[in-house]
Structure 1
């Protein structure tokens, strides 16, 4: 598959590099084309670099891997109609109410994925890969305590969701459907909570029982 990656940061490198290694055709794009070319050369596996427009035009699926405050400029100036847009972003901001010396975060925006969809209404936006840091996606480990690392996926277009789920499987991850795009805001909130806990030295996985011990009953 042809995948366009907009951005040259850690997420672009981790996910784009993984897909290139899995055999996909990957083209990185950035405002400074030289930076995208440098990243492509570092990733290898036939990856190429160029402008944002070149990456967007190349990809059947396009990963948005830029800071949230740069999204508007990218979305409004780039031809993304009809594309599957993979949103891995989070609008993190420091928690100004946290005690001195405590590293914690809040969301600066409640629903980034929904804003992307509203800005490019003809695109098929899928939220995925936003829960964990780039270092997790770049690492070789894909199972912890006997459980495969899973990726919740939110989107309204079934074909787009299946496509992104397949891309997660290509990274040896286990995708699972997490609902329509209106539920992507909960993935963004889950990320800001769990990342804050990790920074504080708490094991986020410990706050939820395994599926076999979980229960839920309708009232």
Structure 2
């Protein structure tokens, strides 16, 4: 699969490297793409670098891992190239660092619902937003108790794509529900930064035990 990564920092870089090792083609992007060339060289010919627009155009799937306050402008700038694509949203609003009106809106309406509004026309799934990059990086080496990654979305096919990509990153996906259900793992929710196993995350979110 071709995956564009917008924001190749702590989370975007970690997940992108895992996807590259799993055999996906990955384009890392930032405002300074030349700084990302060492990351791409580590993965060989399956990895490349570019601008956010390059990543949006390249990817069948696009991961957003940027400061939440950047989403409104990116949504406007990239709307025509993102239309209809599966977008994984790993962004979180932070009081004090993002626009306070946007933070209040996300808190009131739910981050998932707000992100879908900011990235119109996309098939948005909340994924990798509630875990730390260090936990994602460590998960593939765990013989038991891999990291559980909560995901939520309104588009069933997009959610299935996210499920597979969470597995390809060496983690276990937990589909919580639609975008409204993502409240359970946004900041302040019981699933946010739990960095735990599937059984424990289900318990924290009040979900029944899995098979």
Band the TM-score falls in, shorter-chain normalisation: 0.7 to 0.9
| Cα distance between partner residues in 1 of 2:134 and 2:37 | 21
Task: State the SS of the aligned residue for 1:90.
Answer: coil
Measure the CA separation in 2 of the matches of 1:68 and 1:210: 27
| Structure 2 spans left out of the alignment, 5+ residues | 97-102
Matched, 1:23 2:30: no
Alignment pair present for 1:7 and 2:12: no
Alpha-carbon separation, structure 1, partners of 2:7 and 2:44: 16
Q: CA RMSD in A?
A: 2.9
Residue 128 in structure 1 maps to residue 127 in structure 2: yes
Larger Rg: 1
Q: Which residue of 2 aligns with 1:166?
A: 164
1:27–1:48 CA contact under 8 A, matched in 2: yes
Aligned with 2:90 (options 74, 88, 91): 88
Count of aligned positions: 193
How far the C-alpha of 1:182 sits from its partner, in A, is: 1.2
| Aligned mates of 2:191, 2:139 — CA distance in 1 | 25
TM-score by length of 1: 0.76
- Is 1:27–1:58's contact at 8 Å kept on the other side of the alignment? yes
What SS is found at the alignment partner of 1:31? coil
Equivalent residues in 2 for 1:98-109, closer than 5 Å: 109=106
Q: Contact conserved, 2:2 with 2:60, CA < 8 A, in 1?
A: yes
Which ranges in structure 1 are unaligned for 5 or more consecutive residues? 95-106, 199-203
Following superposition, the deviation at residue 11 of structure 1 comes to 0.7
Q: In the TM superposition, what are the counterparts of 1:181-192 in structure 2 within 5 Å?
A: 181-189=179-187
Q: Which has the higher mean CA deviation after the structures are superposed, 118-127 or 153-162?
A: 118-127
C-alpha separation in 1, matches of 2:207 and 2:150? 19
Relative to the length of structure 2, the TM-score reads 0.79
